[in-house]
Homo-oligomer: A and B are copies of this chain.
Amino acid sequence: MLFRRVAVIGVGLIGGSFGLALKQAKACGHVVGIGRSRANLETALARGAIDSIGDDAADCDLVLVAAPVAQFPRILEDLSSRLSPDAVVTDGGSTKRDVIAAARAALKGKVGQFVPAHPIAGSERSGAEAADAGLFRGKRVILTPLRENPEDAVEKASKAWAACGARLSRMDAEEHDAVLSTVSHLPHLLAYALAQDVATRGNSGRLFEIAGAGFRDFTRLASSSAEMWRDICLANRDLLLADLARFEKKLERMKKCLADGDAAGLERLFEEARAARDKWLNPSS
């Protein structure tokens, strides 16, 4: 057994799946769930993702913070006074610069106990109801360790995520936030924008009636938690705005091809996209 007592703060898709996975791997003893919604905690308890509902992380040797990132300052503030000296804290936040800043401010001299992590294992589903013991299996978890982290703490956090079945990699927080802005936050924003556009048109009933599998997949990300993605987009807004500006330049190029009737130019852009995506999914072909 790796951990005697685990606290999961925020028992949603990520937190609930973490509890289920650690327990299935027999990697921990008791799991205490902490959160805002009593109903959601009851669901987590009934599903076996947590063993009890608690108020704080006292006496725990592993803590996962898996709440929307805007709540981290308050959560880490609360955690600071209750944290056991031997405990390791990790998190599931999708942005890392803001989470690290919040941890430094709240945990102060204890910040070395906090090993920032981001599991690339989301889904548009949310809440304890969506938790799944296999969510992290084979998925990447990016650690963005701090200079204050003793290697021992990074190793404990790594073992926790590895016990959930994840593949681990390390990156610095700046690169993490830049990469995720491009491959995750930007597509979320675009999916929300298109779904919101269609939803607010006069003929939205007709549009949804005719929309097929392409629209469904393109907008899947727009079924994600609005609160969670509001927080992520705001936390990472400098990089996201830069990515949006770059994306709009790409759109300008496509618009110019359309307006000019430039078939060869348009096909070249489409083909670059297609070839790169197919190579990504089938590196050998």
Digitize A193-213: 1 where CB-to-B-CB distance is under 8 Å, 0 elsewhere.
111111111011011101111
Count, chain A residues at interface, CB 8 A: 87
Interface class of chain A by DSSP: helix
Q: Mark A140-162, 1 if CB is under 8 A from B, else 0.
A: 10100000000000000000000
Q: Is there an interface contact between A182 and B198, defined as CB atoms closer than 8 Å? A: yes
Q: Mark A221-253, 1 if CB is under 8 A from B, else 0.
A: 111111101110110010011001011101100
A198-B183, A263-B234 in contact; A188/B214 too (CB < 8 A)? yes
Contact (Cβ within 8 A) B234 A261: yes
Given the known interface contacts A234-B263, A255-B241, the answer about A250 and B193 at a Cβ–Cβ threshold of 8 Å is yes
Nearest CB of chain B from residue A65's CB, rounded to whole Å: 20
Partner of A251, one of B142, B210, B212, B248: B248
Neighbour of A244 across the interface among B196, B223, B227, B255, CB < 8 A: B255
| Smallest beta-carbon distance A190→chain B, Å | 6
Q: Can you list 12 pairs linking A and B with CB atoms under 8 Å apart?
A: A70-B263, A122-B213, A179-B207, A183-B207, A186-B194, A187-B219, A193-B251, A214-B220, A216-B281, A231-B263, A244-B251, A248-B248
